[in-house]
Amino acid sequence: MGDDEARLIRADALQDEARTETLARARELGAEAARLRMEVLGPKPYPVLACSECWQLTGWLGSGERCDVCLASAQREAAFADPHGSFLNLEDEAPNDERPKAPAWKRWATRLGIRGPLDREREAAWNQRVDPDSTGPPRPEDGFVIFDASRGEWPAPEGDDLLVRFATLAYRFERDCWQRIIAAGGPTPLTPHAFPASLPMEQLAEAWSDYVGEVQAYNAASWAGEADAREAVRQQAKARAEAQEEQSGTSKLLD
Ligand SMILES: [Zn+2]
């Protein structure tokens, strides 16, 4: 296990421990967890701060030194608790289920059995999210799931700041295109996911590049594991086929 990995595991353990501690002790443990995470991230040209509630790293803090996620969730709870409260700022996180109908030329090509242009289009769609052989299979595969970073601008949960926020979304390859899905697991980048939009562009660009790099590293590691597992299955099947061949050869000798 690398030093960084050990630090991150320790940080998570400290936070678990904090759950059952007094407030003062919990803050100490949380701050230590955040310090370990900052150490792993290393010095950055963009702001790296720690939320005083979830102790995750962020590029923006609001009142009570809380991150946008904690503030938004506190606001939602307050809105639910208020019998007259009608303010709910729920973000539209629902996956896009719309499946546009294939254009006419595609339907005709399918009917006539002309695969060439369809295959090229399928491959182009695949390559939009997969770096073949590095973050996924070399050829398009229906059902393959990958994580991809996205970014956008949202108003901060309080105050007048506009935030640039990064998120990780899951996609499954289906019918020659990527469908957004809700998937468990996935990468949890250490790079902060929220920054004031007023930061210099170079800082935002560097943060985005770090964030995307972490998502890609996650995809590459999970594909490396999957590729090894597939290769092991292939080798087993090959050995089995060879053994069967040998045995059938033996029985022929009896004739
Ligand atoms: Zn937080």
Q: What is the pLDDT of residues 18-27, one digit of tens each?
A: 999 999 999 9
Above 50 in pLDDT, residue 68?
yes
The Å distance, Cα 171 to ligand 1 centre, comes to 26
Phi first, then psi: what are they for 50, rounded to 5°? -120, 135
Quote the pLDDT of residue 251.
Answer: 64
The Å distance, Cα 254 to ligand 1 centre, comes to 75
The Å distance, Cα 209 to ligand 1 centre, comes to 22
Quote the pLDDT of residue 185.
Answer: 86
Q: What is the pLDDT of residues 208-251, one digit of tens each?
A: 999 999 999 999 999 999 999 999 999 999 999 998 888 876 66
Strand partners, 172: 145, 179
Across all residues in the chain, what is the average pLDDT?
A: 88
The Å distance, Cα 56 to ligand 1 centre, comes to 6
The Å distance, Cα 239 to ligand 1 centre, comes to 53
The Å distance, Cα 80 to ligand 1 centre, comes to 20
Neighbours of 24 (CB within 10 A): 7
Q: How confident is the model at residue 52 (pLDDT cuts 50, 70, 90)?
A: very high
* String of DSSP letters for 35-88: HHHHHHH---SS--EE-TTT--EES---GGG--HHHHHHHHHHHHHH-TT----
The Å distance, Cα 67 to ligand 1 centre, comes to 4
The Å distance, Cα 66 to ligand 1 centre, comes to 5
Q: What is the pLDDT of residues 110-139, one digit of tens each?
A: 777 777 777 888 999 999 999 999 999 999
Name the one residue in this structure whose structure tokens are 């803050």. Answer: 27
The Å distance, Cα 57 to ligand 1 centre, comes to 8
Three-state DSSP state, 195 = strand
The Å distance, Cα 55 to ligand 1 centre, comes to 6
Q: How confident is the model at residue 90 (pLDDT cuts 50, 70, 90)?
A: very low
The Å distance, Cα 222 to ligand 1 centre, comes to 28
The Å distance, Cα 73 to ligand 1 centre, comes to 9
Cα 91 to chain center, whole Å?
Answer: 18
CA distances from 167 to 48, 52, 110, 152, 177 (A): 17, 21, 36, 9, 21
DSSP tag of 174: E
Whole-number Å distance between alpha carbons of 14 and 137: 38
Q: Which amino acid does the sequence have at 173?
A: F
Question: How is residue 83 written in tokens?
Answer: 């019998």
Whole-number Å distance between alpha carbons of 220 and 210: 15
The Å distance, Cα 29 to ligand 1 centre, comes to 15
Quote the pLDDT of residue 112.
Answer: 73
Whole-number Å distance between alpha carbons of 62 and 69: 10
The Å distance, Cα 180 to ligand 1 centre, comes to 26
